[in-house]
Structure 1
Amino acid sequence: MKKQLVIFFLLTCLIGKSFAQAKNNNVFSKIDAYLEETIDSLKIIGLNYAILVDNKIVHKNSFGLANAQLNVPMTIEKSFPVASISKLFSSVALYKLLSIHKRDVSETVEEFLPNRKDLPESWRKLTLKQLLSHTSGIPDQIDYQIYLAPESEKSVITAIKDKPFSSTPGTENKYNATGFLLIRAIIEKLANKEFESYMQSEYFDKFNLSSAKYGGFKKVILNRVTCYQNRNGNLEMFPLNYSPPMYAGAGLNVTIDDLIKWFQIVQKEKILTKEQLEEVWTPVKLNNGKDGYFGLGWEAYRLHGAYRMVGHGGAGISSFRHYWNEQTQQNVTVVLLTNGALNWRIRPNQINSQIATMMLEEE
């Protein structure tokens, strides 16, 4: 009798597993079909995507081309320039350094960089929280055609140090590149090491993220896709150019598997504790008491029905988002990396959200 019960239990588990697998395969087929239709409609050149549930990869796939001129197929092993998704790595590394040194995001730039007399007084009064949450109002180098491959940190500061703030600190969210120029300097000060070298030893080497490399489109990066953009109705190469002063904000190249591996490590609390992550992922409140659109370096939103979302976009062509329900603990992570499209009528963040919605509706 006992043997029969054991056999019955095992059969029940197997049947339950097969039903669950069939259900999963069904939703994954629907998502793949949705992406194929979207790729065709938007003329996306190539795309890699992955879905995680409870921090485990449940599905991933590749579509299209890694290089259009040479007709090179996209594969899951390809490296992508993830642009501003780089900020997620930097913010986690910075928060870890703060905890090690018992420092706080409410401290000012001057408290972190007391000897930097080249910085305007108005910049030195800004808090680290304001820089990370894009609420500082500091003059944005992009507004003055100083893009993400400047000659040096000094050249950026010299060019815009006398420019007016775009808003009073703390009053509004305005995406800002200059803030992450200063964040890089603060990371280097706390780490007592050059930024790229610190990230390589403490994160890329330590966690075996072998594909993770900083560098713009001119740098030779093994197995990296070629990126594209629409220019006057024609498809052109998209020169995503970055230089070391901006690497805390953009410039990382990485495969989807290594990007996922890093996030799994983050969620397993191997870098920050759950409480520290909650601080990083909580929307920073503006001076009027309303939630802003960023936590500490991460986009952060409170959605309907106790759902929350954190993540970041990359150059308008890629999207990394983690969604969870605070009440039910239901969660899904969607990583969507592309190398561009001819027509972004639907943005990558919207595609990402649609995939997450299809998954959550099936849960």
Structure 2
Amino acid sequence: MLISALPFAALPLPTVSANQDRANDQTRRLIRQIMRDERIPGLQIAVVKEGQIVLSEAYGLANVENGVLASRDTRFPLNSATKAFTGVAIAQLAEQGRLDLDAAASRYLDDLPAAWKDVRLRQLLAHTSGLPDILDAKGLLGGGSEAQAWTAVTTRPVEAAPGQRFAYNQTNYVLLARIIARQSGMPYERFLATAQFSSARMARTTFGDSYDLVPDVATMYSLAPRATDAANTPPRLSHWFYDIPPSLWAGGGILTTADDTARWLVALTEGRLLGDAARARMWSAERLADGRAGPWAGGWPVLQAAPDLQVAGIGGARSAFVVYPERGVAVVVLTNLVGANPQRFIPRIADFHAGAASAADDKAVARAGQQRSIVARP
């Protein structure tokens, strides 16, 4: 398998410092080693440092059987990391006064079961709603259409009182998509394109799954054994198919690139998508009824709350981005191997870059050294 970085001349990166060069080289070595060890076919990485993309590269193969190289243009699925974009959409509407995060979902949707009427929007975002899941081990409930699955889930009993416990759940984001559409006056995907993709210059970002014919999408693979494999069958690369119908797009439907995701993170942290107060609330862990902090905030897993805040988007065991606001660093890694779990090695990459000075810092240090030399001259 070819593991090499491909250039992309259309989007030049800024001049970086010597320290940043070292961080980039450390990152490249780590990525190549992990791809070899984990047998990852294709990968994109982008690193943001103080509002600039300081590293963006693609490695390996987007499609193994046809030898198609991964490039910075290749689209990868975010899967459940899409929930972070949904969290931003809800926070935008709240900031505009078009909805209230503390309000019950029933204020905005009048066809909910009576048992669901007290669930708050913030509890939907943080998976503390207690609602039954519209998915089971085989996919949509009942194995039928989206409409049939919705009918099935609305007849099921709630699993816990709102706010009582955390339970990851796709029903939450089906409801959030409907609320976004109603309060924005446009379909969920159009609101994201208008309020986020356009503002962040995300020209390669769209929606879809394995069954949709979208250009330049990486083929997904897995090393997991097939159901028909014998117990001692060695792991081998196989196709992985995933089905995300439009009603579930808010929970996992985005196809994008590391570059686009990095530009979105820059826009978000610079305040072009949300104000500081709205972003801080979105990244604050939702409290459970007993006062404990849950593992999720407003659409984002909270990996660490203090003293070094770390929030993430994690999807499909193959794509992830982690933001370190206090360090001024964000790292995006997208792969086409289920089980790659880049959130496990992103912290090492962040550590490389957190201490890397910018080119401007290097120049300032050099100027200071020159001034000291002049002063010390006899």
TM-score, with structure 2 as normaliser: 0.82
1:215 aligns with 2:208: yes
Answer yes or no: is 1:354 the counterpart of 2:348: yes
Instruction: Check whether the contact 1:45–1:65 (CA below 8 A) recurs between aligned residues.
Output: yes
1:140 to 119, 125, 133: 133
The residue type equivalent to 2:246 in the other structure is P
Structure 1 pair 148–253 and aligned structure 2 pair: CA distance change class (3 A): farther
Q: Which of 316, 324, 333 in structure 1 is aligned with 2:330?
A: 333
Mapped pair 1:33 → 2:29: yes
Comparing 271-280 and 79-88, the one that deviates more: 79-88
Question: Could you tell me which residue of structure 2 aligns to residue 156 of structure 1?
Answer: 149
Contact 1:332/1:359 (8 A) holds in 2: yes
Structure 1 position 215, deviation (Å)? 1.2
* Comparing 56-65 and 141-150, the one that deviates more: 141-150
| Contact 2:48/2:331 (8 A) holds in 1 | yes
Residues 94-133 of structure 1: pairs in structure 2 closer than 5 A = 94-114=90-110, 116=111, 119-133=112-126
- 2:199, 2:273 within 8 Å by CA — same for their partners in 1? no
Partners of 2:302 and 2:312 within 8 A in 1: yes
Structure 1 residues 273 and 201, CA, compared in 2 at 3 Å: closer, same or farther? closer
Matched, 1:311 2:307: no
Q: Distance in 2 between matches of 1:148 and 1:160?
A: 7
Deviates more, 1:222-231 or 1:129-138: 222-231
Aligned partner of 2:20 among 16, 24, 45: 24
Task: Pick closer, same or farther for the CA change 1:185–1:151 going to 2, 3 Å.
Answer: farther
CA distance in 1, matches of 2:141, 2:342: 21
Q: Post-superposition shift, 1:269? A: 1.2
For 1:58 and 1:218, the matched residues in 2 are separated by 34
For 1:146 and 1:240, how far apart are their aligned partners in 2?
A: 10
What residue is the counterpart of 1:3 in the other structure? Answer: none
1:339 counterpart letter in structure 2 = N
* CA drift at 1:150: 8.0
Q: Which runs of 5+ in 1 are unaligned?
A: 1-17
Distance 1:43 1:149 in 2: 35
**Letter aligned with residue 256 of structure 1:** A
Deviations 1:33-60 (A, max 9, x none): 1111111111011111011111211112
Residue 146 of structure 1 contacts residue 156 of structure 1 at CA under 8 Å; is this kept in 2?
no
Q: Is the 8 A contact 2:195 2:273 kept in 1?
A: no
Q: Counterpart of 1:337 in structure 2: which amino acid?
A: L
Greater shift, 249-258 or 276-285, is seen at 249-258
How far is 1:199 from its partner?
Answer: 2.6
Deviation at 1:360, TM superposition (A): 2.8
2:205 and 2:17 map into 1 onto residues whose CA distance is 33
Letter in 2 for 1:317: R
Retained in 1: the 8 A contact 2:257–2:334? no
In the alignment, the residues of structure 2 paired with residue 339 and residue 322 of structure 1 have an alpha-carbon distance, to the nearest angstrom, of: 21
Name the residue aligned to 2:273. Answer: 271
Amino acid at match of 2:28: D
TM-score, reference length from structure 1: 0.86
Structure 2, unpaired ranges of 5+: 1-14, 226-234, 358-378
Q: 1:63 to 1:95 in 2, by over 3 A?
A: same
Contact 1:282-1:295 within 8 A present in 2 as well? yes
Other-structure match for 1:241: 243
The match for 1:287 is 289
* Partner Cα separation in structure 2 for residue 24 and residue 323 of structure 1: 17
- Does the Cα contact within 8 Å between 1:53 and 1:332 map onto a contact in 2? yes
Counterpart CA distance in 2 for 1:177 and 1:301 is: 20
> Is residue 299 from structure 1 mapped to residue 301 from structure 2 by the alignment?
yes
Residue of structure 1 equivalent to 2:62: 66
CA offsets 1:55-94 (integer angstroms, 9 cap, x no match): 2111122211110011111111111111112112222112
Contact 1:149 1:241 in 2 (8 A): no
Between the aligned partners of 2:145 and 2:118, the Cα distance in structure 1 is 23
Cα-to-partner distance string for 1:221-250 (whole Å, 9 max, x where unaligned): 121111111231232111122111011111
SS at match of 2:329: strand
Deviation at 1:205, TM superposition (A): 4.0
Q: Secondary structure at the match of 2:36?
A: helix
| Percent of aligned positions that are identical | 26
Report the alpha carbon displacement of residue 354 of structure 1 after superposing the two structures with TM.
Answer: 1.8
Q: Give the drift of 1:361.
A: 5.2
Aligned length: 334
- Counterpart Cα distance in 1 of 2:97 and 2:356: 44
